[in-house]
Each structure stands twice: as C-alpha cells, then as structure tokens.
Amino acid sequence: MDEKMRIMIVDDEMIVRESFYHWFKKSGHLVETAASGFEALEKLNEVAFDLLFVDIKMPGMDGLELLEKIKADYPETMVIIITAYGSIESAVKAMKTGASDYLLKPFKPEQLSLALEKIAQQKKLTAEYNYLKGCLEKMTRFDNIIGQSEAMKKVFELIPEIAESDASILLTGETGTGKELVAKAIHAKSRRSQKPFIAINCGAIPDSLLESELFGHQKGVFTGADHARKGFLEVVSGGTLFLDEIGDISPKMQIDLLRVLEDKTITRLGSRDPTAVEFRLISATRQNLEEEARAGRFREDFFYRINVIHIHIPPLRERKSDIPLLLQHFLKKYSQETAKRVDHVSADTLDLLKGYTWPGNVRELENAVERAVVLSRSRTLGADDFTFLQSKPGISKRDPTLKEIENNYIAQVLEESNWNVTKASGILGINRVTLHKKIKRLGLKREAPAVATNG
C-alpha cells in the first residue's frame, strides 16, 4: 500500500507493541505505541492519528471504553480492535461502537496487510464524504453568516429576494447576533455592491457629533472645523448606509433623517445649499422600536419609514443547532491565526456549550473560542478551557479583552520561568522568535530587582 499512515498500537503487552511497531515501521508508516488507554488518549490529545490498533483486554480502561472515547472526541480516527479472547458479543459491540475492524490474535502479516487495505478504502470513502459534506456546509454559509437552523435558513432565503430592492430595511436582534453581517450580505448581493458600504454605530457617537458625521459641515461652522468636509450621507453615494443601534438617536436626528429619506437631499452644517444624495438605508436595533413608538419614545413616522422590510435575527440560544458549525468555523479561524493545532472540542464540552445561554450571542461564542484557543495547551478543548463561562455571574464587571488575557498570561509564564525565553516559549507552545515578537508588541519588560539602600 503506497499511502503512509500515522498509527498507534495500544496494548498492555510489550511484545505485541514491539512486534506491531517494527512491522509497520518497516512499511514506512509513522508508528507510536501506548501501554494503556489513558496513555493513548494523552497522545491523541497532542497529535492526530489515522488508525489505532486497540487491545480489548487492558487494565484500568479496556479497549471498548477507549473506543467509545475516541469515537466521541476524535470521530475521524479509525480503530481496529484486537483480542486473544474473541466472542461474537464483543465483536458486535465493537462494530456498533464504531470499530473499523475486529482481529483475533495471533496475526499473520497478510492479515495486517489486508486490514490496512480495508482502512485505506475507508479513508478514501471518508475523504469523498468530507468533500461532499464541505460542499453541503457551503450551503449553510452566506457571506460569512453561518447557520443550518431553520431560522437562519429563512434569513438566507430572504437576503437575495430583498437585495435588489431599494426599500429601507430594519434588522432586529440582540447584541452579537450578526446584524451587520446580514447588512453586508444584502449589500453584496445588490446592484450597489461596487459602491460604498458604510457602517455607523449610532449608540457610540454623541448626537451633536453624529449630525456632523452624517451631514458634513462647512469650514468654520464650529471650533475645530478647519476645512469643509463631506458627511457619510454624501460619501455613501450610490451605496448602502448601515445605521446600527438606530433606536439610540434623538428625536431631532430622527426628523432630520426622515427628511433626507423623503427629499433625497442633505444640507451640510453651516450651509444653505442642498445636495442631492442617493443611497439605501439599512438600520439595526436591539430594541423593540414598535413598542417604543407606541409609547411615544420613538417617532412613529420615522419608524414606519425605516421598517419597510423587517428581518429578525434570532439569538443563539434559539438556534443551538448552529453551535457545532460555528465552533468548527471559529476553531479553524483562530488555530490558523495563532498557529496552534487546536482542532477539536470534546463531546462533554460541546454539551456544556450548548447548555450555556450565550447572552452575547455569536460574538460571545467567537470571543470564548478565541480565548480558549490562545490559552489551550492541547489540540482538544475541554470543559476546563471554558470555566470562565461557567463562573460568570448574572451581572459582571467588564470581561478582559483578548490582549489583556494574552498579556497577563505571557507575563505570568515569563515570571514563573524567570524570563528564560526558551523555557517560556516551550510552556506557551510557540517558538522563541514568536515569543520575542509578542514581548515587543505587548511592551512587556522584566521587573528590575529591588535595590536595598541604607537609610
């Protein structure tokens, strides 16, 4: 067989491990051995294996227990069960649990060759399946929006239908659900896609400054206006303007924007000359603006003008079937960014993440995965990597940023290793050059030792 594989032999008998090791090594395969199920799991946690030969009778953790754990956390790894005490019952149980084959000791070389040929065929079929699965997964992605739940499929279906229209759109949903991604997808599918897409968070800009940002101003109209400047309503000409958290703007700004939408003209601050503008407005809010309008806290006429088409983006807790897909996407993204091989989430941890309410929605999930990948020391994320979620109180102080987490962790490791860069880089799982760059980028400096002085 031409294809070389990474194989692990798991058996408590040294003679079995050594005979397997030398036979497969002679054939050019990458081979490792483990004397117990626990040792095998430790090695799997570090490196991906194509195939494991697992003895069914072992102290501590038997082969079937190990098989169950492998299939739960590393489903792509194939397992052949080996035993000197064969029975129909154990063979059936092994195959039902996910074993690729079942062999009785002692073996002849031709039996092992045949077993590897069968595994090669299974690998080929698996590769074809993964290719088709990848094609299917592309159908669950829409311009960086990821989801396979019925709620998200409805959003995906709606985007192309409304993209060509010029009608104003209101996106509603909690913080972190991906409203800006939906707005960008609508813009990308529209005839305006080659024109600007400008996003403004109305809740982050004071109302007085927002007016200048949107409408522009003439030179000298206020202190600091050293020259005339176009506002975003002019700059976005022909494109799409995305106003996030539109529920936070003042009644005066609502009147001003309503006039722009009706007249298609704007007047810069300090000017009397109107300028024609043409753009599509997509707004977003976490608030229930219909209730706000009924209560008199938001203008009804402006609400109806921006709410010609309404799309609601559901919170993550209402589409938990999307969590595994999102996890894999973020794992791949941050494993590449950090150059760390973190490509799995254990089955127990996946259950834990599905049980969490995700008040910050997809954005919180992404931040959680990024943090876990940065701090992880193995290729599989476990429950211990997400303890910060389990311990979160209902109302908490601001969570530390990723830079703060990374800064603190690297500083801690450097201090514990007495600033031995070689030792610290080994603990952090990065090379010395990368660590030196991080020390420089984060501005970390070794504390100078205190100097005693005579008083």
**pLDDT, the chain, mean:** 84
How far from each other are the two terminal CA atoms of the chain, in whole angstroms?
80
Q: Kindly report, residue by residue over 120-165, the tens digit of the pLDDT.
A: 777 777 666 555 555 444 444 555 788 888 889 899 899 999 998 9
Lowest mean pLDDT among 288-292, 317-321, 443-447: 443-447
Nearest-CA neighbor of 145 among 203, 199, 188? 188
Cβ pair 268, 131 in contact under 8 A: no
Q: How many CB atoms lie within 10 A of CB 322?
A: 21
Task: Grade residue 270 by pLDDT with cuts at 50, 70 and 90.
Answer: confident
Nearest-CA neighbor of 41 among 82, 13, 72, 83? 72
> What residues does each domain of the chain span?
6-137, 145-314, 318-442
Tell me the pairing of strands 141-142 and 145-146: antiparallel
Whether residue 2 is predicted with pLDDT greater than 90 in this model: the reply is no
CATH class entry, domain 318-442: mainly alpha
- DSSP for 414-455 reads HHHTTT-HHHHHHHHTS-HHHHHHHHHHHT--PPPPP-----
Distance between CA atoms of 332 and 320, rounded to whole angstroms?
A: 19
Q: Kindly report, residue by residue over 326-376, the tens digit of the pLDDT.
A: 998 899 899 888 888 888 898 888 888 988 889 999 999 999 999 999 988
Query: Is the domain defined by 145-314 classed in CATH 3.90.400.10?
Result: no
Please state the φ and ψ torsions of residue 12, each to the nearest 5 degrees: -80, -10
Percentage of residues in the chain having pLDDT higher than 90 = 40
Distance between CA atoms of 129 and 142, rounded to whole angstroms?
A: 22
318-442: same fold as 6-137?
no
Q: Kindly report, residue by residue over 158-197, the tens digit of the pLDDT.
A: 999 999 899 999 999 999 999 999 999 999 999 999 999 9
**CATH fold for the domain made of 6-137:** Rossmann fold (3.40.50)
Distance between CA atoms of 68 and 64, rounded to whole angstroms?
A: 6
Q: What is the pLDDT of residue 398?
A: 43
* Average pLDDT, integer, range 22-35: 89
Q: What is the pLDDT of residue 453?
A: 39
Q: What is the pLDDT of residue 139?
A: 43
Cβ pair 254, 299 in contact under 8 A: yes
Reduced to 3 DSSP states, what percent helix, strand and coil does the chain have, rounded to the nearest 5? Answer: 50, 15, 35
Higher pLDDT, 243 or 449: 243
